[in-house]
Amino acid sequence: MIDTITGQRGKETSPPDLVNTTDEKLIELFVSSNDERVFEEIVNRYTNKIYRLAFRITRDHHSAEEVLQEIFITLINKIDTFRGGSKFSSWLYRVTANASYMHLRAEKKYESDVSLEDYVPYDENGTLMGRIKANDWSERPDKALLSKEAMEIIEKAVNELPEPYRVVFHLRDVEGFSNEEVSEVLGLSVPALKSRLHRARLFLRDKLSDYFYEWSK
Amino acid sequence: MVMCKDVVENIMEYIDAELDDKTLEELEKHLDECPECQAFVRTYKKMLELTGKLRERTFVTPDIRQRLKELLKSKLKPN
C-alpha cells in the first residue's frame, strides 16, 4: 500500500515496476487507467527537469514555478493528445519551452534580437590575443572549481547568454541532449543549433575566464 | 597555414573527434606549437565539464514540491 498525490491508498494488486517503465509506456498506462501512481512517477521523473528548463529560459523562479504547474495540468488534461510521433521527453521539453516563452513575452523580457554571431576570441589576424594562457584557470583544484561559490559563478555566466543561445546550451550541454533531440525540441535545423552552441560555448569560456581571474585576485 | 582562428572555429568538431585526418593533423601541429591555443582547448574542455555539473542542481524546494502536490491533488480524479 502506498500514499499517492490524492492521499488515497494504492490498490492491493501488485503495481507494475513504474521506476523501470519507459516514459511512453507510462503515458499509455495513465491514459488507460488514470492511475495516479503512474502520474506520480511522471511527476517525480520530470519536476526538476521542467523547472530547470523553465528557469533557464525565464531566469525567474516565480515564472519557473508557474510553468511547472501549467505543464503538469496540461499533461493531466491533454495527455491523450500525445501521439507518440516523437519521444515523450522531446514533446514535454517543447511544451515547457513554449510555455516559458509565453511568460517571457508576457513580461516583455524576450530578447531574440541579441546576437553572438560575431562573437570571436581572436583578433582580425586570426590570432588569440595572448591573455588566454596567462589567465589559464583550468588547472585549479576541483575543490575550488566545484565549490558552491564557483557554481554560482557558472550559473551567473550561463544566465548572461542571450536567450536563443542559452536554451540551446542548456539542452545540449547541461541536459545532455543530442543535436537531433535539441533540433526536434526547438524546431531548429542541426546546423543552426550547432552554430548557436558554438558561439554560446565561446562566450561562456570567456566569461568563466574573466570571472575566475577576478575571483582569484 | 593553420592559425588560432582555425582551432577556435573547429573546436566543436575537434572535441567530438569529427575532423577529417588532414584537418586534424594540421590543427594538432598548430596546437603543438601554440601555448595560447593549448590553453584555449584546456579552458574550453574545463568549461564544458563545469557547466555539465549544472545538471546536478535542483532548484525545486520542498515548498515548491508541496504546492505542486496540492495543485495536482485537486486536478487528478481518484479512480
Looking at chain B, which residue has its C-alpha nearest residue A135? B39
d(CA A207, CA A213): 10
Question: Between A55, A69, A120, which is nearest B68 by CB?
Answer: A69
Check if B64 contacts A (Cβ < 8 Å): yes
Nearest Cα neighbor of A57 from A156, A151, A189, A164 is A164
How far B2 CA lies from chain A's nearest CA (Å)?
A: 10
Paired strand residues for B64: none
Q: What is the ipTM of this complex?
A: 0.91
pLDDT at B21 > cutoff 90: yes
Angle between helices A179-186 and A88-106 (to 10 degrees): 50
Question: Between A129, A146, A197, which is nearest B53 by CB?
Answer: A146
Looking at chain B, which residue has its C-alpha nearest residue A157? B51
CA dihedral A167, A168, A172, A178 (to 10 degrees): 130
Asked if A27 contacts A82 with a C-beta cutoff of 8 angstroms, the reply is: yes
pLDDT at A7 > cutoff 70: no
Contacts of B72 in chain A (CB under 8 A): 5, 39, 43, 72-73, 76
Check if B68 contacts A (Cβ < 8 Å): yes
State chain B's mean pLDDT as an integer.
Answer: 93
pLDDT at A172 > cutoff 90: yes
d(CA A69, CA B67): 9
d(CA B11, CA B44): 9
> How large is the average pLDDT for residues A129-157?
88
User: pTM for this structure?
Assistant: 0.87
Band of residue A135 on the pLDDT scale cut at 50, 70, 90: confident
Percent of chain A with pLDDT over 90: 50
d(CA A168, CA A147): 25
- List CB contacts of A1: < 8 A, sequence separation 6 or more: A9, A10, A12
> How large is the average pLDDT for residues A191-208?
96
Contacts of B64 in chain A (CB under 8 A): 51, 65, 68
d(CA B78, CA A34): 8
Nearest Cα neighbor of B68 from A122, A24, A42 is A42
Measured from the Cβ of residue A35, the count of other Cβ atoms closer than 10 Å reads: 20
Highest mean predicted confidence (pLDDT) among A11-20, A26-35, B23-32: B23-32
Interface test with B, best of A56, A60, A72, A122 (most B CBs within 10 A): A122
Nearest Cα neighbor of A67 from A40, A39, A91, A102 is A102
Band of residue A2 on the pLDDT scale cut at 50, 70, 90: very low
Contacts of B78 in chain A (CB under 8 A): 6, 8, 36
Comparing B68 with A81, the larger pLDDT belongs to: B68
Length of chain B: 79
Determine whether the interchain pair B12/A145 forms a contact, defined as Cβ–Cβ distance below 8 Å: no
Determine whether the interchain pair A205/B40 forms a contact, defined as Cβ–Cβ distance below 8 Å: yes
